[in-house]
Amino acid sequence: MLIFVIVLSFIVIGKSSIKMLFGWLLNFLFLIIFIRFVSWGFPILWVTAICSVLILLANIYLSDATNLIKEVVLQSTTIIIIIMSITIFLVYRWSQVQGFGPENTTELEGMSILINIRFAEISVAMAIISILGSVVEGSMSVAAGMEQFLKRNIPIDNFYSFGWHLGQKMMGTLFNTIFFGFFGSSLALFIWFARLDYSIGQFINDKVFVFELLLVLLSILSVALVIPLTVALLARRLSHGKNLLP
């Protein structure tokens, strides 16, 4: 399957697939490094911050966008990740969804949880890493779309409105992607709830479900914030006379 994906990438994308595959490899290595350092007892939140920066840099600077657009995307995603990190820390600390739920019984039978790891910090780290993809995708998509604006004979005065209109269309697509990804990954959990006749109270207070639902809502919030911020930063750069094209 991996060979098929690589061959198909070269056929469809061409030489740009080399950057894409190299980016996948880097992201995979960064996640492995994250897991190893956490297992060795390094501070989870510091390791998460460093790995998040490395993942952001890899995804942004291995793209084919212009240098100025890469800078704007890096600025917007960094700002949103900082805001969302604080939000995630407060939300997950208040919601008390860290650790395992009764649905994880099978996984717990073969392991010991006496591993000296703070599950609250693990939950925060999981949420931050999970929203990285949606934040970068949202920012890079609207930035790439706005880059095409400059290649057409459209008045510069309409740049912000064009970007905002483009961002609104992309939000709907990204929201659907996040939602159906959540539904697909949680399908077995929903079947569990149905077969065991969970009440509404049990359903909305289930630790595993609430964790996943909060992750989806935070991902949607991050996209809703990063798209208008990217549009505003690009419009500001253009208003200062900086050309976004090479």
Report the distance separating Cα 75 and Cα 130, nearest Å: 19
The pLDDT, as a whole number, for residue 219 is: 85
pTM score, whole prediction: 0.79
Average pLDDT of span 164-183: 76
SS3 state of residue 143: helix
Residue 215 has pLDDT above 70, yes or no: yes
User: Which of the 8 DSSP states describes residue 103?
Assistant: G
Residue 224 has pLDDT above 80, yes or no: yes
The pLDDT, as a whole number, for residue 39 is: 80
Average pLDDT of span 204-231: 82
The pLDDT, as a whole number, for residue 108 is: 47
The pLDDT, as a whole number, for residue 200 is: 77
The pLDDT, as a whole number, for residue 164 is: 75
Report the distance separating Cα 60 and Cα 140, nearest Å: 8
The share of the chain scoring above pLDDT 70, in percent, equals 81
Residue 17 has pLDDT above 60, yes or no: yes
Residue 105 has pLDDT above 70, yes or no: no
User: Which of the 8 DSSP states describes residue 101?
Assistant: -
The pLDDT, as a whole number, for residue 150 is: 66
Nearest to 83 by CA among 231, 233, 232, 229: 229
Residue 102 has pLDDT above 50, yes or no: yes
Nearest to 223 by CA among 162, 140, 129, 148: 140
pLDDT band at 109 (very low <50, low <70, confident <90, very high): very low
Residue 103 has pLDDT above 70, yes or no: no
pLDDT band at 104 (very low <50, low <70, confident <90, very high): low
The angle subtended at Cα 218 by Cα 213 and Cα 223, nearest 5°, is: 130
Residue 19 has pLDDT above 80, yes or no: no
Helix, strand, coil % (nearest 5) of the chain? Answer: 80, 0, 20
Q: Are 56 and 77 in contact (CB under 8 A)?
A: yes
Residue 119 has pLDDT above 80, yes or no: no
pLDDT in tens, 142-155: 877 777 766 665 56
pLDDT in tens, 32-76: 888 888 888 888 888 888 988 888 888 888 777 777 788 888 889
User: Which of the 8 DSSP states describes residue 152?
Assistant: S
How many Å from the N-terminal Cα to the C-terminal Cα in the chain?
Answer: 37
SS3 state of residue 214: helix
